[in-house]
Amino acid sequence: MSDKETSAVDRVQQDRAKEILFVLANAVSAAKLFPPEHQTVRSFISNLHQRLTQYLNKYWKLELGIEEQSFSLEGKTIHHDPNPARSLPFFFFKDGMKGLGFYKGLQKGELQGFLGAIREVSQLPPEEGDIVNALWEKDFPNIRYFAPDDFLETRIGVGRPPLRLEVDIDSLSQGRVELTPEDLEEIRKNTLALGRSRENEKPAADPAFAEEFGITLAKTDDRETTEIEALLTANRRLSYKEEYLSLILEIIYLEDRPEQFPAISDVLEQYHHEAIQEGDFRRAAKLLHALSQIKEAYAKKNQLKSDLMDSVIALLSSKSNLVELRDSLDLGSISDSAGFFDYLRYFGPRSAGLVADVYERATNQEWRRRALDILKEIGKTDLHELTGLVQESRPALSQEIIRILSESKDSRIVTFLANIVSYNNTSVKLAAIRALGQVQNEAANKVLLGFLADPNEEVRTSALDNMKEAADKQVLSHVIEAIEDKTFRRKSDREKKALFDILGRSDSEEACGFLREILTKVPFLPNPKHTELCLYSVDALEKMRLATSKEVLKEGAQRRHRKIRSACLKALESKSKITISYTGRTAR
């Protein structure tokens, strides 16, 4: 067998061992919650015994190494739980146990006694409970443990009378073993169990089935067989974890004893912790969804249980869990993006920072789209969480956040967007300018004024274009000063036109008077710069709905300058097609 195939077989064995440890941990939790005769405990013991029997029939033994926070199989860690309050490895480790083994022939009664010992020790104070001593007293035939000799000498047998063995040396040479009635009964049971297991391993008697099965096996090589077994193992893992979740929820629905609620909370927290550790966010989201449903179902008829669900949901979706997840998150290891984002939704606005990180780190557009969907949902309830995400160092995300803010139509964003005037990133500033243009109020226009001093022409021009209604006196004064300034002649045609367009959109008597001064002024010598100003003024007057604007154009049509006169006549013709009934308004 090749190294690759050997590795695949090892993974199958490790996965089966992981399943057993998962069921064992849950069986221990159930044993702590309920008495031994309870149906839940019995179901877990049956499930655990079935899985152990299948494993032991194939591998003969399951020998686990025990560290402070983990179990290992042949030197490889297969189970890890860092929380000492609920960690099963720590429960054994603290009393000196270094190894734990299960062997072929394991009986269900042994498992019942094993879980019973754990239950008894866990209910004692730490200084009194000793799992090594408890297992030593039980002396299970197919469950063995290892603890260092010095530990055994100091802990096991304390307070018990010394064992005195009396050996008849003469009888040793006879080669005879005396069996007690109990020994004989145990041999009989093991013999019957071995016979039944061999019968179960016999192939089916149907020759047609055997022939068909043989043909199928002939077509399947060792590599394919290993892959199929690995897939089946993965499927079994999924099903028993889903089954366990259903069992937990059923217990919650049925349990009415308040004293059991803290223990149930611990089980739910452990289940959630394991799901997150394995990257199974869909299962974690399903848990939170189910708890929310139970909370709503009992909101009126059982307030105590509803409060319990509320406290568990708050615990599982706490800010500290988000921080821990944020520190350890590896997007490449997540195969189910939909389940991951469904899980983040349960954190609400608190997840904004983590979702923003995911957006920045994601290279897949589908991931980015899902992240933005959550940010939009957050924006509907808490805009403040979104504003904190806008940073100059994250231009792509900042532009998306600003767009979401603008879609909210909330005028409060104007104050926040004013901070972006001092940014250096052009793309973020342009996004803020577009958002301010959609607000369309005087406060937004005043913020846009701040962008007119920007060194980037595109920023200045965009700010001018987005001043939709510019009747504010401060805005008009600023624009007029910019036109009169000596630097105006160095501006581009687009920026010059944008400045005059604001005057045209203002429908202000003050703006109209300023345009009249430009248009009716006749220089002593032909001046191309002045002609350019006049043509810009004609365009602005044409846009005005103010009745006075038509009179100013008529005055301009009397000019001797052919180009200016022609532009005024054309503007008057355009205005004549529109009835001007607007009398104007004064600037504020």
Q: Which of 437, 519, 526, 508 is nearest to 472 (CA)?
A: 508
- In degrees rounded to 5, what are phi and psi of residue 70? -155, 160
pLDDT for 30 beyond 90: no
Min mean pLDDT across 15-24, 84-93, 230-239, 343-352 is at 230-239
> How are strands ordered across the β-sheet holding 143-146?
76-80, 70-73, 61-66, 99-103, 143-146
Token pair belonging to 474: 């401060």
User: Residue 73: in which H helix or E strand, if any?
Assistant: strand 70-73
Output the pLDDT for position 291: 85
Rounded to the nearest 5 percent, the helix, strand and coil shares of the chain are 70, 5, 25
Min mean pLDDT across 322-331, 340-349, 378-387 is at 322-331
| Average pLDDT estimate for 537-549 | 91
Q: pLDDT tens across 49-73, in order?
A: 988 999 999 898 999 999 988 999 9
- In degrees rounded to 5, what are phi and psi of residue 279? 75, 20
Output the pLDDT for position 185: 64
pLDDT for 500 beyond 50: yes
pLDDT for 163 beyond 50: no
CB 502 within 8 A of CB 479: yes
pLDDT for 149 beyond 80: no
| Residue spans of alpha helices (H) in 60-180 | 88-93, 108-122, 131-138, 149-155
pLDDT-derived band at 587, boundaries 50, 70, 90: very low
pLDDT for 330 beyond 70: yes
pLDDT for 33 beyond 50: yes
pLDDT for 153 beyond 70: no
pLDDT for 212 beyond 60: no
- Kindly give the interhelix angle for 395-407 and 365-381, rounded to the nearest 10 degrees: 40
Residues pairing with 70 in the sheet: 80
CB 429 within 8 A of CB 399: no
Distance between terminal CA atoms of the chain? 89
Q: pLDDT tens across 355-383, in order?
A: 999 999 888 899 999 999 999 999 888 88
What's the pTM? 0.56
Output the pLDDT for position 107: 92
pLDDT for 486 beyond 50: yes
More confident residue, 43 or 118: 118
| Average pLDDT estimate for 211-237 | 51
More confident residue, 496 or 246: 496
Average pLDDT, the chain: 80
- The DSSP secondary-structure symbol of 124 reads S
Output the pLDDT for position 459: 94
Q: pLDDT tens across 454-481, in order?
A: 999 999 999 998 887 666 788 888 899 9
Output the pLDDT for position 43: 79
Percent of the chain with pLDDT over 90: 25
d(CA 202, CA 197): 9
From the number of C-beta atoms within 10 Å of its C-beta (0-12, 13-18, 19+), residue 479 rates as buried
pLDDT for 214 beyond 90: no
Output the pLDDT for position 235: 46
Buried b or exposed e, range 43-77, using 16+ CB within 10 angstroms: ebbebbbebbbebbeeeeebbbbbeebbbbbeeee
pLDDT-derived band at 187, boundaries 50, 70, 90: low
Residues pairing with 101 in the sheet: 63, 144
Output the pLDDT for position 123: 79
Reduced to 3 states, what is the DSSP secondary structure of residue 62? strand
Output the pLDDT for position 579: 52
User: Do the strands 99-103 and 143-146 form a parallel or antiparallel pair, or are they unpaired?
Assistant: antiparallel
pLDDT for 570 beyond 50: yes
User: Residue 143: in which H helix or E strand, if any?
Assistant: strand 143-146
Percent of the chain with pLDDT over 70: 80
Min mean pLDDT across 2-6, 39-43, 306-310, 574-578 is at 2-6
More confident residue, 257 or 451: 451
At position 340, the amino acid (one-letter code) is F
